[in-house]
Structure 1
Amino acid sequence: MRCLLILFLTLWAPMVPAQTNEVDLELLLLVDVSRSMSPRELEIQRRGYAEALSDPEVIDAILNGLTGRIALSYVEWAGADSIRPVVDWTIIDSAADARAFAGAIDATFRNSMRRTSISGALGYGINTLNENDIDGLRRVIDISGDGPNNHGGDVRIARDRAVAAGIVVNGLPLMTRDGIGTRWHLENLDDYYRACVIGGPGAFVLPVLSWVEFAPAIKRKLILEIAGDTPRLWQAQAILPDAYDCLIGEKIWRRNRVYELP
Structure 2
Amino acid sequence: MVGARPLFLLAGLVSASPAAAACRQALILALDVSASVDAQEYRLQTDGLAQALIAPAVTEAFLSLPEAPVALAIFEWSGQNFQETVQPWTMIESEDDLAALSALLHGRPRSPGHGTTAIGAAMGYAAGLFAEGPACARMVLDISGDGENNDGPSPGERRDRPDLAGVTINGLAIVSELSAEEERLTPSGGRLVDYYTNHVIKGADAFVEIARDFSDFETAMIRKLLRELETIMVGEAAVPRQAVPPPPYRQ
- 2:11 alignment partner in structure 1: none
1:163 and 1:169 in contact (8 A); partners too: no
Matches within 5 A, 1:100-139: 100-114=100-114, 115-132=116-133, 134-139=134-139
Letter in 1 for 2:32: D
1:98-144 C-alpha deviation (Å, 9 max, x unpaired): 11111112242124422110000001111110122x12111100001
Q: State the alpha-carbon separation in 1 of the partners of residues 111 and 250 from structure 2.
A: 33
Structure 1 residue 210, shift from structure 2 partner: 2.4
Q: State the alpha-carbon separation in 1 of the partners of residues 118 and 172 from structure 2.
A: 15
* Greater fraction of residues in helix: 1
**Corresponding residue SS for 1:217:** helix
Q: State the alpha-carbon separation in 2 of the partners of residues 199 and 19 from structure 1.
A: 27
Q: State the alpha-carbon separation in 1 of the partners of residues 126 and 159 from structure 2.
A: 10
Instruction: Tell me the C-alpha RMSD between the 2 structures.
Output: 2.5
Letter in 2 for 1:203: A
List runs of 5+ in structure 2 lacking aligned partners: 1-16, 179-188, 233-243
Structure-2 change in CA distance of 1:76 and 1:218 (3 Å): same
Q: State the alpha-carbon separation in 2 of the partners of residues 162 and 75 from structure 1.
A: 21
Letter in 1 for 2:62: I
Q: State the alpha-carbon separation in 2 of the partners of residues 231 and 200 from structure 1.
A: 19
Q: State the alpha-carbon separation in 2 of the partners of residues 57 and 174 from structure 1.
A: 22
1:139-177 C-alpha deviation (Å, 9 max, x unpaired): 100001111011111211111127851000000111113
- 2:85 alignment partner in structure 1: 85
Structure having greater relative contact order (Cα 8 Å, sep ≥ 6): 2
Letter in 2 for 1:126: A
- 2:208 alignment partner in structure 1: 205
Q: State the alpha-carbon separation in 1 of the partners of residues 197 and 245 from structure 2.
A: 14
Same amino acid, percent of matched pairs: 34
Letter in 1 for 2:250: A
1:195-224 C-alpha deviation (Å, 9 max, x unpaired): 000001200001211233211110111111
* TM-score, length-scaled by structure 1: 0.75
Q: State the alpha-carbon separation in 2 of the partners of residues 59 and 175 from structure 1.
A: 27
- 1:236 alignment partner in structure 2: 250
Structure-2 change in CA distance of 1:57 and 1:36 (3 Å): same
Q: State the alpha-carbon separation in 1 of the partners of residues 121 and 245 from structure 2.
A: 27
- 1:165 alignment partner in structure 2: 165
* TM-score, length-scaled by structure 2: 0.78
Q: State the alpha-carbon separation in 1 of the partners of residues 162 and 56 from structure 2.
A: 31
List runs of 5+ in structure 1 lacking aligned partners: 1-16, 179-185, 238-262
**Corresponding residue SS for 2:177:** coil
Runs of 4+ in 1 over 6 A off after TM superposition: none
